[in-house]
């Protein structure tokens, strides 16, 4: 239409000014109008073709992206059809975006909460991402890690080397690494190059903290070594004495009696050691091996105290007990009996003639609290944190002399922990020690003690 206007206007101007006859002007106007209509028609056609092309490609996008596109109706106007397809595409894009955001949040949550450490580096070994577990294991903060190279951030040549190896080989590499700062840790690291080791693609490391596992393994190895060592001493002395008897000592009455007494002592020590090792193994085997049931703790304590009276007499130590309040715990009566007996035995043995051991059972909030207080030799403060370790003794010679195995308090600690309780100690050298055992209480009625496995 725009082309018509200037022709018409200029024709009218020319007529008005008398330059052109009127008939010619009308022709010119008609020609102008026809040319304008033709141009407009071709413009509209072009526009319709574009809209159709746009509609077809929009439909293809909607269908390719799995959108819920409306069905195509023969008679519907192209523009309406296009609008319908466009809104289908927009619905699909919105849903895809929401799903992508949810997936990203899930990945982020897993990444943040994973116990394993994840460290992502680019082709120049610069750290792009790390999760909190990796930051903790390598003692890093994101500010001191992101954008830095592995060696700059961690100062661990072994880790840097492992990344390089994996990326050069284009294959996964794994190794155990030790860190020292801020504390010693043993890490198992697995590095996988991304996209088959193309240097520009970087690599991802998965880190596992083996420190605790390694410690437990070492404790087990040490335990076997210690048990073997402890067994060897009495076995060797029995062997030597039996050989001496065979060589003729048996004929001398005094020597014979002395040797027999020593052999009995060594055999007792062996038996005690085997009993204690088995008791520890039983507790460590977990709830499956323990006789879990309601236990009347007050009654159990009274029975255990009564069983220790002969020992207390032998050591001239007075035993007193306060167990008035009826208290029930859920637990293993055999393990509990042994733990209580071990505390009383120690109170008696590491004491002086004329000394005392006082046992008191009471309720503290949700717990049963058993105190075994003695007026014995006491424990120097530097040993207090270690006496619950297996085979740890303050005075090795004295413990052996008293028939100790060095496992008594380790058994107490394991029994308490297996019952969800704790054991603590306070001690003053020359004045005495107080051991305090706490166990969670249950409200259930206890089984009669005579029904339980109580053959000790
Ligand atoms: P042991 O068989 O040597 O008695 P324990 O594990 O029962 O082993 O105790 C570890 C060490 O703790 C003992 O060797 C002893 O030195 C010290 N100890 C334990 N109980 C007492 C106590 N009541 N008074 C003083 N020392 C104690």
With contact defined as beta carbons under 8 Å apart, do 150 and 159 qualify? yes
The DSSP 8-state label assigned to residue 444 in this structure reads: S
Atom of ligand 1 at shortest distance to CA of 410?
Answer: 6
Q: How far is the C-alpha of 359 from the C-alpha of 372, rounded, in Å?
A: 5
Parts of the chain belonging to CATH 3.30.450.20 = 114-209
Longest C-alpha distance within the chain, in Å? 167
| Beta-bridge partner residues of 185 | 179
pLDDT band at 353 (very low <50, low <70, confident <90, very high): very high
Q: Ligand 1 centroid to 291 CA: how many Å?
A: 27
Q: How confident is the model at residue 420 (pLDDT cuts 50, 70, 90)?
A: very high
d(CA 287, ligand 1 centre) in Å: 27
Shortest-distance Cα residue to atom 8 of ligand 1: 406
Ligand 1 contact, 356 CB (< 6 A) = no
Average pLDDT across the chain, whole number: 85
The whole-angstrom separation of Cα 414 and Cα 424 is 13
Q: What share of the chain is helix, strand, coil (3-state, %, to 5)?
A: 55, 20, 25
Q: For 101-115, what is each residue's pLDDT tens digit?
A: 999 899 888 888 999
pLDDT > 90 in the chain, percent: 57
Q: Please, where in the chain does CATH 3.30.565.10 lie?
A: 287-451
Q: What is the pLDDT of residue 80?
A: 76
Candidates 404, 442, 402; CA nearest to 420 is 442
CA distance 414 to 281: 10
Which ranges in the chain are annotated with CATH 1.10.287.130?
A: 214-284
For residue 46, what pLDDT is reported? 82
pLDDT at position 367 over 90: yes
Atom of ligand 1 nearest to the CA of 392: 10
Ligand 1 centroid–CA 259 distance in Å is 28
Query: Residue 409 C-alpha to ligand 1 middle, in angstroms?
Result: 7
CATH match of 287-451 with 3.40.50.1100: no
Q: Is the CB of 405 under 6 A from ligand 1?
A: yes
CATH of domain 214-284: 1.10.287.130
Structure-block tokens of residue 33: 């109008």
Q: Which of 274, 350, 390 to mutate to test the pocket of ligand 1 (most atoms within 8 A of CB)?
A: 350
Q: Tokens 């308490």 map to which residue?
A: 416
Least confident of 147-161, 186-200, 249-263, 424-438: 186-200
pTM beyond 0.85, yes or no? no
Name the pLDDT band for 5 (thresholds 50, 70, 90).
very low
pLDDT tens-digit map of 188-201: 999 999 975 444 68
Instruction: Judge if the beta carbon of residue 395 lies within 6 A of ligand 1.
Output: yes
Average confidence (pLDDT) over 24-36? 73
Confidence of residue 296 (pLDDT cuts 50, 70, 90): very high
For residue 403, what are its two tokens? 């028939």
| Whole-angstrom distance, CA of residue 138 vs CA of residue 178 | 10
**Residue minimizing CA distance to atom 4 of ligand 1:** 404
Which atom of ligand 1 is closest in space to residue 372's alpha carbon?
Answer: 23
Atom of ligand 1 nearest to the CA of 432: 24
For the ranges 64-68, 91-95, 120-124, 157-161, the lowest mean pLDDT is seen at: 64-68
Q: What's the pLDDT score for residue 180?
A: 84
* pLDDT band at residue 65 under the 50/70/90 scheme: low
Return the best residue to mutate from 223, 226, 269, 346 for the ligand 1 pocket (most ligand atoms within 8 A of CB): 346
Highest CATH level, class, for 114-209: alpha beta
pLDDT of residue 81: 73
Alpha carbons 165 and 153: distance in angstroms, whole number? 19
pLDDT for the residue 69 = 58
């Amino acid at each position: 239409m725009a082309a018509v206007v200037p022709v018409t206007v200029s024709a009218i101007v020319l007529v008005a000014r008398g330059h052109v006859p009127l008939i010619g002007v009308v022709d010119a106007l008609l020609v102008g109008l026809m040319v304008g209509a033709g141009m407009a028609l071709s413009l509209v056609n072009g526009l319709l073709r574009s809209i159709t092309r746009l509609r077809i490609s929009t439909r293809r996008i909607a269908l390719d992206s799995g959108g819920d596109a409306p069905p195509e109706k023969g008679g519907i106007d192209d523009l309406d059809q296009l609008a319908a397809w466009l809104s289908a595409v927009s619905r699909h894009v919105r849903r895809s975006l929401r799903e992508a955001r949810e997936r990203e949040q899930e990945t982020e949550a897993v990444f943040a909460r994973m116990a394993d450490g994840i460290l992502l580096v680019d082709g120049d070994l610069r750290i792009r991402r790390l999760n909190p577990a990796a930051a903790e294991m390598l003692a890093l903060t994101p500010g001191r890690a992101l954008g830095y190279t592995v060696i700059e951030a961690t100062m661990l040549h072994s880790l840097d080397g492992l990344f390089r190896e994996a990326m050069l080989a284009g294959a996964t590499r794994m190794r155990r690494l030790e860190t020292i700062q801020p504390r010693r840790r043993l890490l198992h690291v697995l590095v996988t190059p991304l996209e088959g080791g193309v240097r520009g693609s970087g690599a991802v490391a998965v880190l596992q903290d083996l420190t605790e596992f390694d410690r437990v393994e070492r404790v087990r190895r040490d335990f076997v070594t210690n048990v073997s060592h402890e067994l060897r001493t009495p076995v060797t002395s029995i062997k030597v004495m039996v050989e001496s008897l065979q060589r003729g000592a048996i004929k001398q009455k005094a020597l014979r009696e002395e040797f027999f007494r020593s052999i009995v002592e060594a055999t007792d020590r062996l038996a005690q050691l085997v009993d204690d090792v088995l008791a520890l193994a039983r507790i460590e085997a977990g709830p499956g091996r323990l006789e879990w049931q309601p236990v009347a703790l007050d009654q159990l304590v009274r029975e255990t105290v009564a069983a220790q009276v002969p020992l207390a007499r032998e050591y001239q130590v007075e035993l007193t007990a306060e167990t008035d309040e009826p208290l029930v715990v859920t637990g293993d009566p055999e393990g509990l009996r042994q733990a209580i007996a071990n505390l009383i035995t120690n109170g008696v043995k590491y004491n002086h003639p004329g000394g005392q051991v006082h046992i008191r059972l009471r309720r503290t909030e949700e717990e049963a609290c058993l105190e075994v207080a003695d007026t014995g030799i006491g424990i120097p403060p530097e040993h207090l944190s270690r006496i619950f370790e297996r085979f740890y003794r303050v005075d090795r010679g004295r413990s052996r002399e008293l028939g100790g195995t060095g496992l008594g308090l380790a058994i107490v600690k394991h029994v308490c922990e297996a019952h969800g309780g704790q054991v603590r100690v306070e001690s003053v050298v020359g004045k005495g020690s107080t051991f305090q055992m706490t166990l969670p209480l249950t409200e259930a009625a206890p089984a009669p003690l005579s029904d339980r496995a109580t053959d000790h």
